């Protein structure tokens, strides 16, 4: 008797998809009949799976974790991993192996924000809906399949970021304060803002604030502030006839020369070229 029953689609992406998209390597479902260990390492792949029924164990980076129905897993398969269903409650899994352009950066950011490789979202249906749609797509192979697959994989990763947070009662107590800092940046972008001043205003050490802000939002405070200033400057360039000097001052840049330098580095053109083009 087979130890498991699986229904999967294996895919070979085109050179175009390998260069530009996230792409599926394998996708399917697995139902265990009896316990058996599936173990791999050094795969150039990322794995997302969700436990539909039953329970078992995932070993990842040397740690063994108990996982059950409703749990989700998002891991880098270059690391050794193994999973095994229990004998008492054999599991059914939905899963996809994927890789491609941006996959490494997505996972690096996920790790930088110290999100867990295993999480239990309040509702798994958004994940299973995406997996079901992706599975159907890969089986039917319609026109633009690889472009649609990229979309579904992006949706799936986005769900990991938005729903892959600690369970209720474990939410980071610093989150409301970080949100206040972010709102302050939006309201006071035109002023001189230093990390020391933010630390004093919000009663948090500058080192802790800097680290936690980057972890929470995926961007440093300095880069976030600069992006806000540039966005407001773009609006003034397009919808006012203000001088470059006036716009620089209105958006918190110390002088016009520095504004032009930062703008060119971000947009690949000067503020005046942006005004003419847009």
194, 81: one domain: no
Helices then strands, each counted (H, E), the chain:
11, 10
Here the CATH number for the domain that contains residue 240 is: 1.10.10.60
Tokens of 204: 């948090």
Distance separating alpha carbons of residues 38 and 242, to the nearest angstrom: 64
Q: Is-contact 193 251, C-beta < 8 A?
A: no
Specify the pLDDT at position 167: 46
Q: Is-contact 85 91, C-beta < 8 A?
A: yes
The alpha carbon of residue 57 and the mean position of all alpha carbons in its chain are separated, in whole angstroms, by: 25
Task: Quote the crossing angle between the two packed helices 206-217 and 221-239, to the nearest 10°.
Answer: 60
104, 242: one domain: no
Specify the pLDDT at position 172: 64
Instruction: Please name which of 141, 137, 162, 163 lies closest in space to residue 152, comparing C-alpha atoms.
Output: 137
What domain range includes position 134? 4-163
12, 90: one domain: yes
Radius of gyration, alpha carbons of the chain: 24
139, 163, 187 - which closes a domain: 163
Three-class DSSP category at 232: helix
24, 146: one domain: yes
107, 140, 163 - which closes a domain: 163
The alpha carbon of residue 245 and the mean position of all alpha carbons in its chain are separated, in whole angstroms, by: 38
163, 191, 226 - which closes a domain: 163
Mind listing the pLDDT tens digit of every residue in the chain (278 residues)?
A: 456 677 999 999 999 999 999 999 999 999 987 777 788 889 999 999 999 999 999 999 999 999 999 999 999 999 999 999 999 999 999 999 999 999 999 999 999 888 889 999 999 999 999 999 999 999 999 999 999 999 999 999 999 998 876 544 455 678 889 999 999 999 999 999 999 999 999 999 999 999 999 888 889 999 999 999 999 999 999 999 999 999 999 999 999 999 999 999 999 999 999 999 99
Specify the pLDDT at position 163: 84
The alpha carbon of residue 14 and the mean position of all alpha carbons in its chain are separated, in whole angstroms, by: 24
Distance separating alpha carbons of residues 49 and 40, to the nearest angstrom: 15
Specify the pLDDT at position 171: 55
The residues, any chain, with a CB within 8 Å of residue 29's CB and separated by 6 or more, are 6, 7, 8, 52, 92, 93, 94, 95, 135
Residue 137 lies in a domain: yes
31, 101: one domain: yes
208, 250: one domain: yes
Here the CATH number for the domain that contains residue 146 is: 2.60.120.280
Q: Is-contact 169 123, C-beta < 8 A?
A: no
The alpha carbon of residue 44 and the mean position of all alpha carbons in its chain are separated, in whole angstroms, by: 18
Q: Is-contact 24 148, C-beta < 8 A?
A: no
Q: Is-contact 57 64, C-beta < 8 A?
A: yes
Distance separating alpha carbons of residues 122 and 106, to the nearest angstrom: 22
Three-class DSSP category at 254: coil
């Amino acid at each position: 008797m087979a130890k498991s029953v699986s229904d999967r689609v294996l895919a070979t992406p085109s050179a175009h998809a390998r260069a530009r998209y996230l792409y599926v390597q394998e996708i399917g479902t697995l139902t265990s009949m009896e316990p058996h260990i599936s173990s791999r390492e050094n795969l150039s792949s990322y794995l997302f799976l969700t436990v539909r029924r039953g329970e078992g164990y995932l070993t990842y980076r040397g740690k063994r974790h108990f996982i059950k129905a409703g749990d989700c897993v998002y891991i880098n398969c270059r690391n050794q991993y193994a999973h095994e269903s229990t004998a008492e409650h054999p599991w059914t899994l939905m899963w996809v192996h994927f890789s491609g352009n941006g996959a490494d950066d997505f996972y690096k950011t996920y790790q930088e924000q110290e999100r867990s490789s295993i999480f239990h979202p309040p509702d798994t249906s958004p994940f299973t809906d995406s997996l079901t749609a992706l599975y159907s797509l890969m089986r039917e192979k319609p026109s633009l399949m690889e472009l649609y697959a990229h979309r579904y994989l992006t949706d799936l990763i986005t769900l990991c970021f938005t729903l892959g947070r600690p369970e209720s009662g474990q939410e980071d107590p610093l989150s409301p304060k970080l949100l206040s800092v972010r709102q302050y940046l939006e309201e006071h972008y035109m002023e001189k803002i230093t990390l020391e001043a933010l630390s004093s205003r919000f009663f948090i050490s500058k080192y802790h604030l800097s680290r936690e802000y980057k972890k929470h939002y995926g961007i440093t405070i300095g880069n976030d502030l600069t992006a806000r200033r540039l966005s407001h400057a773009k609006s003034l360039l397009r919808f006012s006839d203000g001088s470059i000097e006036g716009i620089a001052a209105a958006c918190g840049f110390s002088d016009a020369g520095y504004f032009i330098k930062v703008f060119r580095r971000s947009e690949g053109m000067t503020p005046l070229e942006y005004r003419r083009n847009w």
